[in-house]
């Protein structure tokens, strides 16, 4: 329909990561990391010294880049920039919250699931915590 944002049919898109060192290492081992000509990487390692501003900038940069289709972000990092993650409503790239070693997965904070919590007052989302 006219006016609706077209989802680009991309033939090769990257997976970006904003997570702690261990998680990123694991994924880089699998072969997801990419360094392009301008020495820009598609991942950001977050440790105790990373500022919230740096995380915000990286997030904005990844969402603006056209060849990134998925952004994996650790849940505790997502909590730091919760407002940015929640206000992001474009379908591409998809934002996935993954658990980290010290912070197990908490569905009540997931930006997508919290949006539909009203649909399932006593069902699935709550049942996970049980």
Q: Does 22 bind other proteins (CB under 8 A)?
A: yes
Q: Going by DSSP bridges, is the β-strand pair 94-98/68-74 parallel, antiparallel, or unpaired?
A: parallel
Kindly list the distances between the CA atom of residue 81 and the CA atoms of 15, 41, 57, in Å, as whole numbers in the listed order: 19, 20, 10
Choose, by CB under 8 A, the member of 57, 66, 108, 112 that binds other proteins. 112
Smaller CB separation from other proteins, 84 or 98: 98
**Residue 69 within binding range of other proteins, rule CB under 8 A:** yes
* DSSP run (H or E) holding 44: strand 43-45
Task: Output the six-digit token pair for 108.
Answer: 């009540």
117 three-class SS: helix
Q: Which of 53, 87, 91, 121 binds other proteins (CB under 8 A)?
A: 91
Q: How many CB atoms lie within 10 A of CB 76?
A: 17
Nearer to other proteins, 45 or 52 (CB): 45
Binding site for other proteins (CB under 8 A): 4, 7-15, 21-23, 25-35, 41-42, 69-70, 72, 89, 91-92, 94-96, 98-99, 101, 104-105, 107, 110, 112-113, 115-116, 119-120, 124-125, 128
């Amino acid at each position: 329909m006219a006016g609706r944002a077209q989802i680009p049919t991309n033939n090769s898109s990257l997976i970006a990561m904003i997570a702690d060192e261990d998680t990123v290492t694991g994924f880089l081992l699998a072969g997801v990391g990419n360094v392009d000509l301008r020495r820009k990487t598609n991942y950001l390692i977050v440790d105790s010294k990373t500022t919230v501003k740096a995380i915000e900038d990286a997030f904005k940069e990844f969402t603006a880049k056209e060849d990134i289709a998925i952004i994996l972000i650790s849940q505790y990092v997502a909590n730091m920039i919760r407002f940015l993650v929640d206000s992001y409503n474009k379908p591409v790239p998809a934002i996935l919250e993954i658990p980290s070693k010290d912070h197990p997965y908490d569905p009540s904070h997931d930006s997508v699931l919290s949006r539909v919590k009203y649909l399932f007052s006593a069902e699935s989302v709550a049942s996970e915590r049980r």
